Amino acid sequence: MATSLQFQITSTARFSSFKTAPSNSTSNSRSITIPSIGRLTSSCCINYHRQPLTAKASLSVELPTTSAKDIDGDSSKILLEVKDLTAVIAETKQQILKGVNLVMREGEVHAVMGKNGSGKSTFSKVLVGHPDYEVTGGTVIFKGENLLDMSPEERSLAGLFMSFQSPVEIPGVSNIDFLHMAYNARQQKLGRPELDPLQIYQIISPKLELVKMDSSFLNRNVNEGFSGGERKRNEILQLAVLGAEVAILDEIDSGLDVDALQDVAQAVNGLLTAQNSVLMVTHYQRLLDYIKPKYVHIMEDGRIIKTGDVSIAKLLDKEGYKAIA
Amino acid sequence: MATSSTTFSHFLPHSISLSLSKPKLHFKTIQPIRATISSNLSDPLVLQIAETFEDSLSLSSSTTTPSLQKLRDTSSQSILSLSWPTVKDEPFRFTDTSFIKTCEIKPVSSIPIPSSSIPSELNDTQFANLVIVDGHVVSSYKISEFPKGVFVGSVNDIDSEVIKKRVFEFVSDFQDGDLFWSLNGIGAPDFTVVYVPSDCKVEMPLHFTFFSSESGDIGSKVLPVSNPRVLVLVEKGGEIEIIEEYFGADENQCYWVNSAMEVLIGEGGKVTHSYIQRQGPNSAHTKWTFVRQEAASTYKVVEISTGGTLSRHNLHVQQVGPDTVTEFSTFHLCVNDQTQDLHSRLVLDHPGGTSQQLHKCIVAHSSGKVVFDGNVKVNRYAQKTDAGQLTRSLLLEPRASVNLKPNLQIIADDVKCSHGAAISDLEADQLFYFRARGIDSKTARKALVLSFGAEVMNQLPHKSLRLKIEDHVKNLLTPVL
Ligand SMILES: Nc1ncnc2c1ncn2[C@@H]1O[C@H](COP(=O)(O)OP(=O)(O)OP(=O)(O)O)[C@@H](O)[C@H]1O
Ligand SMILES: [Mg+2]
């Protein structure tokens, strides 16, 4: 007969950081009192220092930027201007962005490429104000305003959109409710009346067609149980419904099959106008065949080390990063 | 989410097991309580309550069926060794019952109220419905549409000798109850029987709505108590779905509902149980659910508990054959100065069982409290058991508290188990996702809190019920967000 083992398993690990009841406790219960979750509502904190001018001067020699004069003397309106942006991980203070420079004008498509871990997603998230990161230097001007002074929701309402590389699931909140809330936040900002559920459905419905999504996705919870490709489509649906002047698409092509890639690319192209612009983060030239960028930037170790046209991407595709270094 | 697969490093040798061992009682001669009042073991308060219960029932002259008599006799016997629980008793360590104790406990009238005086919301269901007021069935709806052989009604109204015999066999069969279980057995004026014969699959859900007709004004210290009781007996291969819903009075009314349900599921049978506790904020609600599962049977319960100043649910499932499926999903909400307590216990003695337990709670009041003791005991012969347990709590006020004791006890050695517990903040990534789409953090937070219980409420088997309960929860939470 097998020896029987007796185990009493109780969850303890998670509790260790909480206050344990003063007790003559002989059992494994824990009495837990924790502070309220109010801290989550405080806006993220951004440290802002201006870099000394000398540093900037020396940087511009080595690190090309896409400032209009440098490349083709385009004089259309600047939407986003990033200068010497540095950022650290808030918790560990580890530096990830080490001086990023980028200028985007109306009507332009940009692509950012670079090895895994080079900082592309961090750059994207810093731009939309993700609280995991702290800006330590540099400036970001969006439509003439200091972006770094704005809360994440203000940035969104001002017209900056980022589609996440890995969008989170939100159980218990349906896609339609989520879009409804987001749309009404915009209406409110514009001083327009809020829409009721039927009105919002009428706005969403044609956009569903644009991204070729079934309307049944509206009743499902946000991203819950969505496949990789479905999540990406859902991000583009949000972009289509909410609109944006600058859309940052972080690896919108990863996990998509060929047909889905075409659908998504077509949808993005459909949203492009002479007044807005798109920044695509990608690993593959393939996406750039569908959405044609004016500039391709190569990111390495938290900097943009090279900027050029789509030929860089082609070179990269053929010969890898060693061809660029 | 805080699911962690079990590592045995959590081993705590000094844990106290929850079960209180009680001597098995054998009944030869049954004595009325009054005659044994001098017993040393007895708690005078308990005996006094039991006596008032007996007295109130003796006023009603209706004849007592053998099953009801058996219930009263076994309960009277067991109460002799029980005392009023204090925080020194492990099962009540975090649950203060003094609210009941300090009131003048007064049994409700044993005469059923007329059905015309039932609040209309109690009849608001699309399902077959039994309205039980103060423990008496006072009205029913669509019961006649149940398949032939199904019985639903008072134990006094059973015609079939077969059903009478089966009910007598099982009534009050459970030996592991506590004081409240026994008090219910003494005070129940009647009990309701649901009988599903072999291989009968009842399609229409049966909705019980419970209500108390009497209450004391707050401050009067008078606490009318009722003791409703239901026995559900599903024979081999039978299936039924039960919705058990408790309604309450307004915030100025005090009352106590001490309810008990026994569920006996035959081989291959299935019971789906939705238990909704939405009593008034100044009530006490003590509740026992005892379930006995034979081989290959299924028991699934979804509990949504929001009411009462003191609410205690003992949920005890005993497996008596292999290959059972057991699922507990519970959601507790405290928006007032209230305690929500679930003590669940699942004992697996046979191989091949599957069990899943999910417990979630929100405490949104600074003196609100949730107590959860979830014991799953996998005994030696319960090989190939697959047991999972997860509990997540959300505390919205600085001094709100939860006492959690998720507890998987495994004695068998070929067992798959996982469990986890977390006191969560709202997920930061989820909150950011809202903000990145322009939704301010206050609105986002509200949406996330409201959706916290969705995982449990989604388990409710009917959309109409689900929507109603979601609304109810939303109405309670909205003012505090
Ligand atoms: N919140 C964080 N905590 C810890 N490390 C982080 C965090 N965010 C980014 N990093 C680290 O910063 C570096 C850059 O990460 P990032 O996600 O920006 O890379 P990426 O260029 O987007 O890579 P990929 O192509 O794989 O998506 C990585 O080394 C990553 O591990
Ligand atoms: Mg990335």
Q: B432–A172: do the CB atoms touch at under 8 Å?
A: no
Helix pair B66-79, B44-59: axis angle to 10 deg: 160
Q: Number of helices (H) and strands (E), helices first, in chain B?
A: 9, 23
Q: Residue A3 and residue B461: Cα distance in Å, rounded?
A: 42
Residues 8-67 of B with CB under 8 A from A: 8, 10-16
pLDDT above 70 as % of chain A: 77
The CATH T-level fold of domain A78-323 is: Rossmann fold (3.40.50)
Q: Give the H or E element holding residue B299.
A: strand B298-305
Q: Enumerate the residues of chain B whose CB falls inside 8 A of the CB of residue A245.
A: none
pLDDT at A323: 81
Which of these ranges, A56-65, A85-94, A162-171, has the smallest mean pLDDT?
A: A56-65
Residue in this structure with the two tokens 């035959």, named with its chain if needed:
B266
Q: Enumerate the residues of chain B whose CB falls inside 8 A of the CB of residue A246.
A: none
Q: A41–B441: do the CB atoms touch at under 8 Å?
A: yes
Size of interface A-B (CB pairs under 8 A): 192
DSSP string spanning A139-171?
EEEETTEEGGGS-HHHHHHHTEEEE-SSPPPEE
Q: Enumerate the residues of chain A whose CB falls inside 8 A of the CB of residue B5.
A: none
- The alpha carbon of residue B151 is apart from the nearest alpha carbon of chain A, in Å, by 38
Q: Residue B404 and residue B421: Cα distance in Å, rounded?
A: 8
- The alpha carbon of residue B421 is apart from the nearest alpha carbon of chain A, in Å, by 6
**Residue closest by Cα to atom 4 of ligand 1:** A89
Residue in this structure with the two tokens 């009842």, named with its chain if needed:
B202
pLDDT tens figures, A213-248 = 999 999 999 999 999 999 999 999 999 999 999 999
Listed in sequence order, the residues at least 6 apart from A117 whose beta carbon sits closer than 8 Å to its beta carbon are: none
Q: A40–B441: do the CB atoms touch at under 8 Å?
A: yes
**Residue closest by Cα to atom 27 of ligand 1:** A116
Of A26 and A276, more confident: A276
Mean pLDDT of all residues in A7-22: 31
Mean pLDDT of all residues in B223-249: 95
**What letters, b where the CB count within 10 A reaches 16 and e where it falls short, cover A139-174?**
bbbbeeeebbebebbbbbbbbbbbbbbebbbbbbbb
Of B246 and A4, more confident: B246
Please check whether residue B408 is in contact with residue A9, taking contact to mean a CB–CB distance below 8 angstroms: yes
**Residue closest by Cα to atom 9 of ligand 1:** A122
Q: B447–A173: do the CB atoms touch at under 8 Å?
A: yes
pLDDT at B169: 94
Residue B316 C-beta-side C-alpha neighbours within 13 Å:
17
Would the pLDDT of B3 be above 60? no
Which of these ranges, A41-45, A292-296, B447-451, has the smallest mean pLDDT?
A: A41-45
DSSP string spanning B48-67?
HHHHHHHHHHHHS-----HH
Q: Which atom of ligand 1 is nearest to the CA of A90?
A: 1
Rg of the Cα atoms in chain A: 23
Would the pLDDT of B42 be above 60? yes
Beta-bridged to residue B402, according to DSSP, are: A32, B370
Residues 393-452 of B with CB under 8 A from A: 394-413, 417, 419-423, 425-443, 445, 447-448, 450-452
Q: Name the burial class of residue A291, with classes exposed (0-12), middle (13-18) and buried (19+) by CB atoms within 10 angstroms of its CB.
A: buried
Q: B433–A167: do the CB atoms touch at under 8 Å?
A: yes
**Which residue does chain B place closest to A178, by CA atoms?**
B434
Ligand 1 site, residue A100, Cβ cutoff 6 A: no
Q: A5–B4: do the CB atoms touch at under 8 Å?
A: no
B347 pLDDT tier (thresholds 50, 70, 90): very high
Q: Chain A contact for B4, CB < 8 A? A: yes
Q: Give the H or E element holding residue B420.
A: strand B415-424
Would the pLDDT of B325 be above 50? yes
**Which residue does chain B place closest to A242, by CA atoms?**
B437
Q: Enumerate the residues of chain B whose CB falls inside 8 A of the CB of residue A168.
A: 427, 429-430, 433
Q: What single letter denotes the amino acid at residue B248?
A: G
Pick A182's closest partner by Cβ from B396, B425, B439: B439
- Per-residue tokens: A306: 């090279």
Ligand 1 site, residue A302, Cβ cutoff 6 A: no
Highest mean pLDDT: which range of A1-10, B29-38, B243-252 = B243-252
Cα angle B16-B19-B22, degrees, rounded to a multiple of 5: 130
Q: Enumerate the residues of chain B whose CB falls inside 8 A of the CB of residue A34.
A: 395, 423
Residue in this structure with the two tokens 């789409």, named with its chain if needed:
B437
**Distance from residue A111's CA to the centre of ligand 2 (Å):** 13
- Per-residue tokens: A150: 């704005």
Which of these ranges, A62-71, A111-120, B268-277, B348-357, has the smallest mean pLDDT?
A: A62-71
**Residue closest by Cα to atom 28 of ligand 1:** A117
Q: Enumerate the residues of chain A whose CB falls inside 8 A of the CB of residue B428.
A: 40, 131
Ligand 1 site, residue A119, Cβ cutoff 6 A: yes
Ligand 1 site, residue A125, Cβ cutoff 6 A: no
**Which residue does chain A place closest to B429, by CA atoms?**
A168
Would the pLDDT of B364 be above 90? yes
A191 pLDDT tier (thresholds 50, 70, 90): very high
Dihedral, CA atoms, A283, A288, A294, A296, nearest 10 degrees? 10
Task: Decide if the complex's ipTM is over 0.95.
Answer: no
Q: Give the H or E element holding residue B21.
A: none
Ligand 1 site, residue A96, Cβ cutoff 6 A: yes
pLDDT above 70 as % of chain B: 89
Q: Residue B162 and residue B160: Cα distance in Å, rounded?
A: 5
Beta-bridged to residue A248, according to DSSP, are: A162, A279
- Per-residue tokens: B198: 């072999």
Q: What single letter denotes the amino acid at residue B344?
A: S
Would the pLDDT of B139 be above 80? yes
Q: Which atom of ligand 1 is nearest to the CA of A123?
A: 18
Going from N- to C-terminal start, the domains of chain A cover 78-323
Residue in this structure with the two tokens 């829409």, named with its chain if needed:
A195
pLDDT at A322: 85
pTM of the shown model: 0.77
Mean pLDDT of all residues in A19-39: 35
B125 pLDDT tier (thresholds 50, 70, 90): confident
How many of the other CB atoms lie within 10 Å of CB of B399? 15
Helix pair B441-452, A175-189: axis angle to 10 deg: 160
Listed in sequence order, the residues at least 6 apart from A163 whose beta carbon sits closer than 8 Å to its beta carbon are: A232, A235, A236, A238, A239, A247, A248, A249, A250, A252
Neighbours of ion ligand 2 (CB under 5 A): A 120-121, 165
**Distance from residue B397's CA to the centre of ligand 2 (Å):** 37
Rg of the Cα atoms in chain B: 22
Pick B425's closest partner by Cβ from A5, A37, A153: A37
Ligand 1 site, residue A101, Cβ cutoff 6 A: no
Q: Name the burial class of residue B58, with classes exposed (0-12), middle (13-18) and buried (19+) by CB atoms within 10 angstroms of its CB.
A: exposed
Taking CA atoms, B155 is separated from A207, B46, B98, B192, B244, in Å, by: 60, 27, 33, 6, 18
**Distance from residue B166's CA to the centre of ligand 2 (Å):** 66
Taking CA atoms, B94 is separated from A179, A207, B373, in Å, by: 43, 53, 10
pLDDT tens figures, B375-431 = 999 998 999 989 889 888 998 888 888 998 888 888 888 878 777 666 666 788 999
**Distance from residue A130's CA to the centre of ligand 2 (Å):** 14
